[in-house]
Amino acid sequence: MRTLIFALLSTLVACAPAGSSEIEPPTEQLAPGTATLVLDITNVRNASGTVYCALFQSARGFPGASPIIGGALSAPARVGTIRCAWSSLPPGEYAVSVYHDENSNQRTDTSPFGAPTEGYGASRNNLPAAAAPTFDENKLRVDSGANVTGSIQLRY
């Protein structure tokens, strides 16, 4: 069961390089809005690989690749904190999943027991011990014109 749960996390390659045939391209276009969502990704343990952030407006696909055009962000890893920010969002509920691909193999590596060996997180830091994070437990309310900020602490 734990292997299955963390296999779901392996799809957190929200910004996999072009040519990755396993990731569906984003298909949802959000209406222009006036809100921003800024999340600081903390506890990045090393400068290896890439940190990926994926934005969701529904449970569809969460915590995998973002279905939203422009919803996937990435940054080279560095020790400490990395910022993921989205602007011009319409009001609504959003959740973000995060994944630190330390060895740049475009998947979350796991131990023989199925536990992730690379960092992962979600927008409200609600990460059940034996299950993948859910949209409902990690959603944030974003109102028109709001500047919503928060932080996601990576779990390794």
**Of the candidates 124, 133, 129, the residue with the CA atom closest to the CA atom of residue 153:** 124
What is the pLDDT, as a whole number, of residue 113? 86
Residue 153 makes CB contacts below 8 A (sequence gap 6+) with 42, 43, 121, 125
Contact in structure between 122 and 98 (CB atoms under 8 Å): yes
Pairing relationship of beta strands 147-153 and 35-44 according to DSSP bridges: parallel
At 73-99, the pLDDT tens digits run 999 999 999 999 999 999 999 999 999
User: What mean pLDDT value characterizes the chain?
Assistant: 87
Question: Mapping DSSP to helix (H, G, I), strand (E, B) and coil, where does residue 119 land?
Answer: coil
Q: Where are the domains of the chain?
A: 2-15+26-153
> What pLDDT, on the 0 to 100 scale, is given for residue 23?
61
Q: pLDDT tens digit string along 6-54?
A: 333 444 443 443 333 356 789 999 999 999 999 999 999 999 999 999 9
Of the candidate CATH numbers 2.60.40, 1.10.357, 3.30.70, 2.120.10, the domain formed by 2-15+26-153 belongs to 2.60.40
Q: What is the pTM of this model?
A: 0.85
Residues, the chain:
156
